[in-house]
Structure 1
Amino acid sequence: MRALAVHLKRRRPAGLGAVLMLALLVPHQAWAWLREGHTATAALAYDILEQRDPEAIAVILRLMQAHPDRARFDGQLGDLAGRAGERRMFELMAIWPDAVRRTPYDHPSWHYSPRIVSPMRTLIPFAFGSAHWAFGHNLAIAHDAAASDAARAVALCWVMHIVGDMHQPLHTALWMSWRFPITDAGGQWAWVRASPDADPERLGRFWDAAGHPAELALAHSGPVEAKLTPDPSPDGETLSPDPETAFARWAAHSRELAYDVVYEGGRLKLGTSPGSAPVLPSDYVERAQTVSRTQLTAAGRRIGALLSGLR
């Protein structure tokens, strides 16, 4: 892992032009999976490490004692202690990058790796954002025993969060068409209604809530997490010698889901304003829930595998 860390630290993010384009195309209000989705993946990762490598949990908790924003965690942990407190710490780590937006800790471009998935992708055939670089950069620091505990703690939070973000299809994809000539910004400029009597909402917000806002708008991660599968079996992609290659595969799969399921291959009707929001197909919500739970499960398993062996 030390050799891997040295290799990953040599990588650099995309240039200023790509970052500026990202700022134009992807509004910063998009929060993948909302709070509840991220906490569910973190709790699942904890459960997997508890079975596979409990020593890694102890290392993570030790490193988090040195986190430069530790007071924030302590305030949210309250009186929780023991296993419940440890598990809650993992949940708070996964949502920390969203909690510190617009602060010195914030890195807006690290949340995204969007690529145009519509037929107009030939006009702009590259991805925006720095999520891929940030993943490798932070994973290397997290596993680098020579790095400071504070730096490793921050890096761990970002690894957990970025992996979760990349499993939300609309954090990896943009739709560009004559109706959305400068893209739909990952569903942030496309409007839909979940049912005939539902209020209009952004397509991105719909998918951030795993296809059913009422399902996720519950306390902590329990209701969501209960629908995930805590199978601790190793993930071959994650445990390969090159985690960045695995990460690229995960993002590519999310883009495939965006094209096939989110946008229905271009057949999904989308509004350009709340007033023009069409009602989603009758079976769309159910398919969105199924895909989202599968993606959340995969993210939790992969986070657990990535952190296994941490010392």
Structure 2
Amino acid sequence: MPGLALPISRRPAWLGALLALVLLLPQPASAWLGEGHRATGALAYDLLEQRDPAAITAILRLMQAHPDRARFDGQLGDLAGRDRERETFELMAIWPDAVRGTAYDHPDWHQSQRIVSSVRAVLPYAFGSAQAEFARNLAVARDPNASDADRAVALCWVMHIVGDMHQPLHAGMWMSWRFPITDAGGQWSWVRPAPDAEPVRLHRFWDSAGLAGDLTLSASGSLEAQLVRDPPPDEDSLAPDPKIAFARWVAHTRALAYDVAYHHGRLRLSASPRSAAVLPPGYVEQARTVSRTQLRAAGHRIGALLEGLR
């Protein structure tokens, strides 16, 4: 899909006004509602455990210097051994959402949304800096000359941004006469998952993977366990440059926004909950399938990105 992410200084003034309006919309909910991010962290740990245990040791060493370490220690409690290590990876993946509203918060880093309706030819710009911040944080995380504290924070952001950018509505948004300043990736568009269901924002629907009950991470780790049982994604090389690979992942996620989330432009979206239409037959199940596939891919890719870290 064509598009160009311009620096703010090079964007026309009217685009700056549109960006300001989009950024005034409600902040995106935590992609995958946190449970999905935790699952990607666990899957990344499992991959490193098989391929590069020394990377796990290095990451845990860096995390000892994390400036928000007290938060991690409080959540890890009395866990020990492998359980504590794996849980640390899960908490790293959700940390950027856990610190919303604090000095560590960067709302702009959670998405890189482009319009996927026909208006994209007129407005081929990205809203959000996930792609640039992925590259910057990955460079810091891999830099042995950076401080351990900076590397630890960067690692959390790398894990989280990769997870976020596998959620279709963190990559795409709709613009039309009904949504003249876009629907902000489903934040201003409403649907009903079923005839007797309460209306829900489309973004919230996708954050919860279609409100599927089996995508809630219970004490037994149902989502994580399901993803571990499912076949791994096809091997995805990071060569020659992780930034190129990441751009490819984002392009695929953005295509899913149009093809699946917005149902090839045929999804009936309402600007108010009162008139929310019921999702078409098969949509909820397709959302569940796509979400699991994307989560598996994200966890695998996070692990691959962290291989060789020392």
TM-score (structure 1 length as normaliser): 0.91
State yes or no: 1:15 paired with 2:1.
Answer: no
Question: Superposition pairs for residues 242-261 of structure 1, below 5 Å?
Answer: 242-261=241-260
Give the AA of the match of 1:154.
Answer: V
State yes or no: 1:300 paired with 2:293.
Answer: no
- Which deviates more, 220-229 or 182-191? 220-229
CA distance in 2, matches of 1:13, 1:308: 31
Deviation at 1:221, TM superposition (A): 8.1
Deviation at 1:22, TM superposition (A): 4.4
* Deviations, residues 280-303 of structure 1 (Å, cap 9, x unaligned): 112110000000000000000000
Q: Aligned Cα RMSD in Å?
A: 2.0
Aligned to 2:206: 207
Give the AA of the match of 1:195.
Answer: A
Return closer, same or farther for 1:242/1:222 CA change in 2, 3 Å cut-off. same
Aligned to 2:236: 236
Give the AA of the match of 1:75.
Answer: G
Give the AA of the match of 2:271.
Answer: T
State yes or no: 1:24 paired with 2:30.
Answer: no
Any conservation in 1 of the 2:212–2:288 contact (CA below 8 Å)? Answer: no
Any conservation in 1 of the 2:173–2:185 contact (CA below 8 Å)? Answer: yes
CA distance in 1, matches of 2:240, 2:28: 35
Question: Superposition pairs for residues 75-94 of structure 1, below 5 Å?
Answer: 75-94=74-93
Return closer, same or farther for 1:269/1:107 CA change in 2, 3 Å cut-off. same
Deviation at 1:220, TM superposition (A): 6.0
* Deviations, residues 31-67 of structure 1 (Å, cap 9, x unaligned): 2111101001110000000000011000000000000
* Deviations, residues 175-218 of structure 1 (Å, cap 9, x unaligned): 00111111111000010111111111000000001122533333
Return closer, same or farther for 1:14/1:109 CA change in 2, 3 Å cut-off. farther
Deviation at 1:30, TM superposition (A): 2.6
Identity %: 68
CA distance in 1, matches of 2:226, 2:19: 33
Return closer, same or farther for 1:308/1:184 CA change in 2, 3 Å cut-off. same
* Deviations, residues 48-93 of structure 1 (Å, cap 9, x unaligned): 0000001100000000000000000001111111111110000000
Aligned to 1:55: 54
Aligned to 1:3: none
Aligned to 1:119: 118
Residue 67 of structure 2: SS of its match in structure 1?
Answer: coil
Deviation at 1:232, TM superposition (A): 7.0
CA distance in 1, matches of 2:44, 2:195: 38
CA distance in 1, matches of 2:261, 2:179: 16
Any conservation in 2 of the 1:114–1:174 contact (CA below 8 Å)? Answer: yes
Q: How many residues are aligned here?
A: 299
Return closer, same or farther for 1:259/1:164 CA change in 2, 3 Å cut-off. same
Give the AA of the match of 1:236.
Answer: D
Give the AA of the match of 2:79.
Answer: L
